Amino acid sequence: MNSKTRTPLFHVSKRGLMPWYKTWAIRGLGLLLAVIACGLITTLVTGQNPLQVYAAIFNGSFGSPRKIWVLLQNIAMLLCVSLAVTPAFRMRCWNLGGEGQALIGGLAAAACMILLPGRLPNWAVIACMCVASLAAGALWAAIPAIFKAKWNTNETLFTLMMNYVATQLVAFYCVVWESPKGSGTIGVINSKTEIGWFPQIGSYKYLLNILIVAAVCILMYVYLNYSKHGYEIAVVGESERTARYVGIKVERVIVRTMLLSGALCGLAGLLLVGSTNHTLTTTIVDGRGFTAVMVSWLAKFNPIWMILTSFLLVFLGRGAGEIATKFGLNRSFGDILTGVILFFIIGSEFFINYQIHFRKSGEREGKGSV
Amino acid sequence: MEEKIPAVTMRDITKSFGSVIANDRIWLNIYRGEVLALLGENGSGKTTLMNMLSGIYFPDEGQISIDGRDVVIRSPRDALDLGIGMIHQHFKLVDVLTAAENIVLGLEGKLDLKAAAEKIRGICETYGFEVDPNQKIYDMSVSQKQTVEIVKVLYRGADILILDEPTAVLTPQETDRLFTVLRNMRDDGKAIVIITHKMHEVEAISDRVAILRHGQFMGDMPTKDTNAQEMTNMMVGHQVALNIDRPEPVDPKLRIRVKGLTVRSVDGILKLDDVSFTANSGEILGVAGISGCGQKELLEAIAGLQPVEKGSIEYLKDDGTAEQLVGRDPLSIQQMGVALSFVPEDRLGMGLVANMDLSDNMMLRSFRRGHSLFTDRKTPRQLALDVVEELRVVTPGVSTPVRRLSGGNVQKVLVGREIASAPTVLLTAYAVRGLDINSSHTIYDLINRQKKAGVAVIYVGEDLDVLLELADRILVLCGGKVSGIIPGRGAQKRDVGMMMTKLGGNAHEQ
């Protein structure tokens, strides 16, 4: 009432539920502000015309049909790992071992491609690759899962450490299977016979991967939201005590879900080795196991939204690479822009959940009221 | 002027959370040398109002004055600087530290525990507290912890004290002791606000009552000029019957037989020691005891959630055959065809999933039904709609996460789900804790209806007055042992209180 006293400049309070169009208005505005901020930074720091920089970022992804295919392939692979970690995340089990699980899946696939030709026909090699990769990925996730279920070990640390074991194993086999001798790399496997290479659909090299991941995405959405397993995962994630109270076997759910998570990571490794690269390196997964964490979180663990968030991250990454080469900027500059954009995207979530009241009453200023 | 200057004046205080107005232009005066009881149903805005006074929330509108001076309270620290201290329902103490360490925690200046202990003893002497400054918190009973919380705010110089449902966790004897201390503090000129749902406590301790309803201030008056019925009516807005029904049990049959039950916690502490009793169909067995005397373990052991060291729990079917429940988990108990429902103490942490909506919570009990890989969402949704309608749950809809509901409505959802499965045994733990009179009576009615339908009800309660009115038999636990089993009709509160604190009470009880 008589506000002659010193009220604080502003205070923050929680919002109620907002209609969806308002939340999206806030997110859109956040993105717009991010783009403006990036433009300002670019001009101030490098002296380049921001519009040209944006055009370059856009060209990095959509500049040519080839670039579009590469973009889609990268989205598919990132999405595959993200879909893999999501069931574990929904269970509040932080599987940070996507990198290692995918790598070990790739190793299993490569092993089949190198060791089996001559003994088995091509189709059988491919079948073995599929089984071996999924099983290897699942195993890599099952080890921490069993320890968590039995002795309540910390899955975050455990899965993280399993990544290093996987990397070292792959490094070892890169030397064992090196070709040509002395190179320390495997090179393209079966480049003459193409045994174990996944078939191409028409002339589109990446289409198979994209279709497989699209199918996984839809299946995962249905699994998480409509199946009994999905419901159990959600209950365990929200409250283990409630889960026990209604008779859910928590240990079993943890191990089962981590097996699924690891197997899907193995699938990503399989596709990378068998379908895309036909070789194996220690960096073949390219940090996707970690980027996947961000993809999954930004989409709030919703598989369908994850298509969008993985697109965003891949798009930004490729744009960063493009401006690095085109303007002779350091690649880190692209990362700075990515950081700025993510800052605004995550920041808009704050304004969706909270509103800020400034000193004069009656004036409700959140970014959402635009 | 002979009129006193209020210690605290709250003028036109408004606070909303999203679209919900928790406090709507509330005016309230708090005086020194007076105990003010703040009354209201769940969700009427009592705690919100007090949280603004203690700096946890900041009001959207309105002005607070202390001793006639306008102030701004931005944080709990601001509040303490103004002499306002709040004792919350959930204690905020560090278990591994001593009382004295907890009390000085966060204070600036040199750490001098000896001087602190001295000052604490001084405070205790003045008001009649019993605290050993060097005792570790994990060694303390709930009531001792509460005492530490009160001493903590006094130590920091608070002379306006707010207690949020302080008696919810205390035995009658402990409550009496607390009230003695509160009276001493009042006589020392401190201003005291107490939030409680129990009418007889309001009448016993307070000098003045202020009543909120749906976030609005309904009025205040001296306690001696009013009575429980009038206060209740003001709180609820219509006439409420305050007595609890206790129909005679019809054709009671032995349903649960517990023999020599012994349970240890994970840390090896003996929680239940050789407990034996029976529960009959069509009857309410009340379980009384100081909190933490094994009530939780008892119910969880029956429900298959608590590993049992020794003893047996038998479920007797109508044809007289007995099924052993020890060693089974909730799923296998259910698969055995034992219809057991359990309303646990921790509603949102165990009975329900706070972030899920009403229909998904209904599904917790039924999602396994059928052979399909997919869940059936229609039936739980219908059940949620039915529960909302029958029990008059206040909610925007069945797609609202249950954490957004008020305490009473959360409990209605939980109880509604548990009785929907037509149980033969109903276990309830603190079914009305934190619930206002109106909601409490709804729950008593529901439980009585189950009893009349032939369900064996085991009701763990903390409010002795209610237990004495509701239960057909009362099992009193003391330190994990059975202190006595007495008929509910004619039982005396004093005797039960004695049995809670001492095995067998006055010995001649049977």
Output the pLDDT for position B140: 85
Please give the pLDDT value at position A359. 64
- pLDDT tens string A93-143: 999 999 999 999 999 999 999 999 888 999 999 999 999 999 999 999 999
Mark yes or no for CB contact A235/B364 under 8 Å: yes
Q: Mean of the pLDDT values across residues A166-194?
A: 90
Residue (of A306, A285, A288, A289) closest to A297 by Cα position: A306
pLDDT band at A6 (very low <50, low <70, confident <90, very high): low
pLDDT at A1: 40
Q: What is the CA radius of gyration of chain B?
A: 24
Yes or no, beta carbons of B373 and A231 under 8 Å apart = no
The dihedral sign for the CA sequence A62, A67, A73, A78: negative
A19 or B359: which leads in pLDDT: B359
Looking at the complex, does the CB of residue A49 fall below 8 Å from at least one CB of chain B? no
User: Would an 8 Å CB–CB cutoff place A361 in contact with chain B?
Assistant: yes
CB A259 within 8 A of CB A72: no
| A11–B contact, CB cutoff 8 A | yes
Structure tokens at B166: 């302080």
**Of A48-62, A262-276, B268-282, which gets the smallest average pLDDT?**
A48-62
Question: Are A263 and A137 in contact, with CB atoms under 8 Å apart?
Answer: yes
Helix crossing, A50-62 with A303-326: angle to 10°?
120
Interchain pair B367, A231: CB under 8 A: yes
pLDDT, tens digit, for every residue of A59-92? 888 989 999 999 999 999 999 999 999 999 999 9
Q: Tens of pLDDT along A353-369?
A: 887 777 654 444 433 33
Asked if residue A370 has pLDDT above 50, the reply is no
Q: Do A1 and B303 touch (CB under 8 A)?
A: no
Q: How large is the average pLDDT for residues B440-444?
A: 89
Question: Do A222 and A112 form a contact (C-beta atoms < 8 A)?
Answer: no
State residue B355's pLDDT score. Answer: 92
Select from B60, B74, B353 the Cβ nearest to the Cβ of A235.
Answer: B353
Q: Is A7 in CB contact (< 8 Å) with chain B?
A: yes
CA distance B73 to B84: 10
Contacts of B367 in chain A (CB under 8 A): 228, 231-232
Residue contact A231–B375, C-beta within 8 A: yes
Interface test with A, best of B375, B377, B414, B418 (most A CBs within 10 A): B375
Say if the Cβ atoms of A13 and B58 lie within 8 Å: yes
How far apart (Å, rounded) are the C-alpha atoms in residues A289 and A266?
A: 11
Q: Check pLDDT > 50 for residue A4.
A: no
Residue B396 — φ and ψ, nearest 5°? -65, -25
Compute the nearest-CA separation of A163 from chain B (Å). 33
Distance from CA of B17 to the nearest CA of A (A): 6
DSSP A73-101: HHHHHHHHHHHHHHHHHHTT-----HHHH
Length of chain B measured in residues: 510
Q: In the prediction, which pLDDT does A369 show?
A: 34
Q: What pLDDT, on a 0 to 100 scale, did the predictor assign at position A341?
A: 84
What share of chain B has pLDDT > 90, as a percent? 47
Give the number of beta-carbon pairs within 8 Å between A and B: 98
Q: Are strands B34-39 and B191-195 parallel, antiparallel or unpaired?
A: parallel
What the block records as the tokens of A236 is: 């365990």
Span A263-280, pLDDT tens digits: 999 999 999 999 999 999
How does pLDDT run across A342-355, given as a tens digit for each residue? Answer: 888 888 888 888 87
Q: Do A245 and B350 touch (CB under 8 A)?
A: yes
CATH code for residues B8-236: 3.40.50.300
| Residue among B190, B123, B194 nearest B158 (CA) | B190
Of the given ranges (A3-17, A79-93, B61-75, B232-246), which has the lowest mean pLDDT?
A3-17
* Residue range(s) in chain B whose domain bears CATH number 3.40.50.300: 8-236, 243-339+422-510
Distance from CA of A84 to the nearest CA of B (A): 20
Q: Collect all residues of chain A within an 8 Å Cβ-Cβ radius of residue B353.
A: 234-235, 238-239, 242
**pLDDT exceeding 90 applies to what percent of chain A?**
60
Q: Which residues of B touch A (CB under 8 A)?
A: 11-12, 17-20, 57-58, 60-63, 70-72, 74, 303, 305, 329-334, 342, 344, 346, 349-356, 360, 363-365, 367-368, 372-375
Q: Is A238 on the interface with B (CB under 8 A)?
A: yes
Residues from chain A that touch B59, judged by Cβ atoms under 8 A, are none
Question: What pLDDT score was predicted for residue B477?
Answer: 92
* Average pLDDT score, chain B: 88
The minimum CA-CA distance between A223 and chain B, rounded to whole Å, is 8
Identify which has the larger pLDDT, A215 or B47.
A215
CB nearest B375 (choices: A2, A226, A249): A226
Q: Which of B374, B417, B427 to mutate to test the interface with A (most CBs of A within 10 A)?
A: B374
Distance from B268 to chain A by nearest Cα, in Å?
18
Q: Looking at beta carbons, which residues of chain B come within 8 Å of A6? A: 72
Q: Is the pLDDT of residue B359 over 90?
A: yes
**B290-301 mean pLDDT:** 88
Please report the pLDDT score of residue B506 as a whole number.
58
First to last CA, chain B: 61
Q: Name chain B contacts of A240, Cβ cutoff 8 Å.
A: none
Q: Is residue B18's pLDDT more than 90? A: no
- The Cα A32–Cα A24 span in angstroms is 12
- pLDDT value for A368: 37
Confidence of residue A336 (pLDDT cuts 50, 70, 90): confident
What is the largest distance, in Å, between two alpha-carbon atoms of chain A?
90
The answer to whether the CB atoms of B330 and A227 lie below 8 A apart is: no
In 3D space, the residue among A134, A127, A133 whose CA is nearest the CA of residue A111 turns out to be A133
Give yes or no for residue B170 having a pLDDT over 90.
no
Interface test with B, best of A245, A352, A356 (most B CBs within 10 A): A245
Least confident of A227-231, A314-318, B284-288: A314-318
pLDDT at B230: 87
Determine the angle formed by the axes of helices A228-238 and A250-270, rounding to 10 degrees.
110
* Beta sheet of A10-14, edge-to-edge order: A10-14, A354-358, A364-365
B168: distance to nearest CA of chain A, Å?
24
pLDDT score for A333:
80
State which residue of chain B sits closest to A4, comparing Cα positions: B70
Q: Is the pLDDT of residue B1 over 70?
A: no
Q: How confident is the model at residue B305 (pLDDT cuts 50, 70, 90)?
A: very high
CA atoms of B107 and B113, how far apart (whole Å): 12
Contact state of B61 with A235 under an 8 Å Cβ cutoff? no
State the ipTM, two decimals. 0.81
Cβ of residue A13 closer than 8 Å to a chain B Cβ? yes
Q: So what's the pLDDT on residue A145?
A: 96
User: Binning pLDDT at 50, 70 and 90, where does residue B16 land?
Assistant: confident
Model confidence at A31, pLDDT cuts 50, 70, 90, reads confident
Interface contact flag, B367 A228, Cβ < 8 Å:
yes
DSSP B186-248: HHTT-EEEEE-S-HHHHHHH-SEEEEEETTEEEEEEEGGG--HHHHHHHHHSS--------PP
pLDDT greater than 90 at residue B231: no
Q: Are residues A242 and B334, on separate chains, in Cβ contact within 8 Å?
A: no
pLDDT of A340 strictly over 50: yes
Q: Give the confidence band of B17 by pLDDT, cuts at 50, 70, 90.
A: confident
State the pLDDT at residue A334: 78
| Cβ distance of B375 and A227 shorter than 8 Å | yes
Answer whether B20 sits within 8 Å of A15, measured CB to CB.
no
Please answer yes or no on whether A361 and B61 come within 8 Å at the CB atom: yes
Strand order through the sheet with B340-343 = B340-343, B425-429, B456-460, B283-288, B473-478, B481-487
Cα pseudo-dihedral B302, B305, B307, B311, rounded to 10: 0
Given B11, B368, B375, which is nearest A1 (Cβ)?
Answer: B11
Residue B510: pLDDT above 60?
no
Chain B residues within 8 A of A241 when measuring between CB atoms: 346, 349-350
A7: confidence class by pLDDT, cuts 50, 70, 90: low
User: Which of B19, B63, B330 is opposite residue A16, by nearest beta carbon?
Assistant: B19
**Helix or strand or coil: residue A187?**
coil
Question: Do residue A357 and residue B356 have CB atoms under 8 angstroms apart?
Answer: no
Asked if A252 has any chain B CB less than 8 Å from its own CB, the reply is no
Percent of chain B with pLDDT over 70: 98
| A360 lies within 8 A of chain B by CB | no
pLDDT in tens, A225-261: 999 999 999 999 999 999 999 999 999 999 999 999 9
Q: Which of A15, A228, A352, A363 to mutate to test the interface with B (most CBs of B within 10 A)?
A: A228
Report whether CATH 3.40.50.2300 matches the domain B243-339+422-510.
no
